[in-house]
Amino acid sequence: MRIATWNVNSIRARSGRVVDWMEREDIDVLAMQEIKCKPEQFPSQVFEDAGYDLAIHGLSQWNGVAFASREPMTDVVTAVTNMPGFQKGAVGSDQPLEARALGVTINDLRLWSLYVPNGRSLDDPHYAYKLAWLNALRVHAAEELAAHPALALAMMGDWNVAPRDEDMGDPSFVPGLSTHISPEEREAFDAFEQAGLTDVVRPIVPEGFTFWDYKQLRFPRNEGMRIDFILGSPAFADLVTDASIHRNERKGDAPSDHVPVVVELDGGGDDDDRPMIF
């Protein structure tokens, strides 16, 4: 079984490209972020024609997460416990929730598609929101695994954190001045390991970026960052037999600024003839 995550940066602009890639790479489940549309605006037909069922959570032209799966999806939820909301200029704990999390069960796997808030700048209210959002997600994961220690859980998506120095190759991000690399963000990301989740891709693919800005020739210069991750519980990690970052999807006409990250799980069949792109 092949499971992937991809910040598609507007699914209406890239549905054909996404589905072509899924068919070419024989992807069984794709978690998408930044779909930037409501469910009724999602280009569902092209996915359904390719044999995929959909779960979609989008509220406006911003944010939005979705799943495309060849297998049925159940237990669909659109928020984790105590997830904070955000509205520019608002204060208090009753701010509206954004479309940033979508959880589904596929066979015995519990999967989440996540679009972690950007943070914007270290002095912006969105930064405090980002840290609170990550904390709520970590607490939810820890509680879920405490209740079900054998659960094959994966939280995947655009985390908007470069947890290690080698994950940041964009020179415009400056330590002490920029988000994504602050000690607080990195500590929040690392805390997921204490909750029982580990990066299941890095042991197999230790190097490689997943995002390159469209500006300043960042991709040709390879000035990117590694901010898209699949974090798995021990039961999920035990199933992983291979992983890849599909850098070539940043090339060509109208690419997303992110590329897919893929894991292969035990029981996925004979895939020796499938090309792998590291």
In-domain check, residue 276: no
Is 271 among the domain residues? Answer: no
Catalytic residue at 53? Answer: no
183-194 vs 125-147: helix axis angle to the nearest 10? 10
pTM: 0.94
Give the tens place of pLDDT for each residue, 214-239.
999 999 999 999 999 999 999 999 99
Helix/strand/coil (H, E, C) string of 170-208?
Answer: CCCCCCCCCCCCCHHHHHHHHHHHHCCCEECCCCCCCCC
Residue 278 forms part of a structural domain: no
Alpha helices in 106-168 (DSSP H): 125-147
For residues 211 and 218, give the distance between their C-alpha atoms in angstroms, rounded to a whole number.
9
Could you give phi then psi for residue 264, rounded to 5 degrees?
-105, 130
pLDDT reported for residue 212: 98
Residue 151 C-alpha from the chain's centroid: 19
Q: Which of 52, 140, 158, 228 is catalytic?
A: 158
In a domain, 206, yes or no: yes
Identified catalytic residue from 57, 180, 246, 258: 258
Nearest to residue 7, comparing CAs of 160, 201, 219, 131? 160
Determine whether the annotation assigns residue 222 to a binding site.
no
Q: State the CATH number of the domain containing residue 75.
A: 3.60.10.10
Counting as low any pLDDT under 50, the low residues of the chain are: 268-278
28 inside domain: yes
Q: Does a structural domain hold residue 25? A: yes
Determine the pLDDT at residue 188.
Answer: 98
108 carries a ligand binding annotation:
no
Contact yes or no for 67/111 (Cβ under 8 A)? yes
pLDDT digits 0-9 by tens, 68-80: 999 999 999 999 9
**Which domain does 216 fall in, by range?**
2-265
Total domains, the chain: 1
165 labelled ligand-binding: no
| pLDDT value of residue 89 | 80
Q: How many CB atoms lie within 10 A of CB 23?
A: 12
Q: What is the rounded CA–CA span in Å between residue 216 and residue 239? A: 40
The whole-number pLDDT of residue 274 equals 39
Active site residue 52: no
DSSP annotation string for 22-86 = HHHTT-SEEEEE---S-GGGS-HHHHHHTT-EEEEE--SSS--EEEEESS--EEEES--TT----
Judge whether 258 counts as a catalytic residue: yes
